[in-house]
Amino acid sequence: MFVHASALNRSGISTLVEGQGVQISYAQRQNSLEARSIRSV
């Protein structure tokens, strides 16, 4: 899933690294899914 930097900012996360465990809340957009909030696990 693509995660836009604005979703990270809304969640207070500055960066993600490949393989990092996260919990994502998402919403359906017209043509794709959009990450709404992200939490490190």
Residue 24: pLDDT over 80: yes
pLDDT at residue 2 is higher than 80: no
SS3 state at 17: coil
pLDDT at 1 over 80: no
What's the CA gap between 20 and 40, in Å, rounded?
8
* Domain, as residue range, for 12: 5-40
Contact (CB, 8 A) for 6 and 34:
no
The total number of structural domains that make up the chain: 1
Angle made by CA atoms 29, 27, 7, in degrees to the nearest 5: 100
| Residue-wise pLDDT tens digits, 4-19 | 788 888 888 888 888 8
Paired strand residues for 23: 39
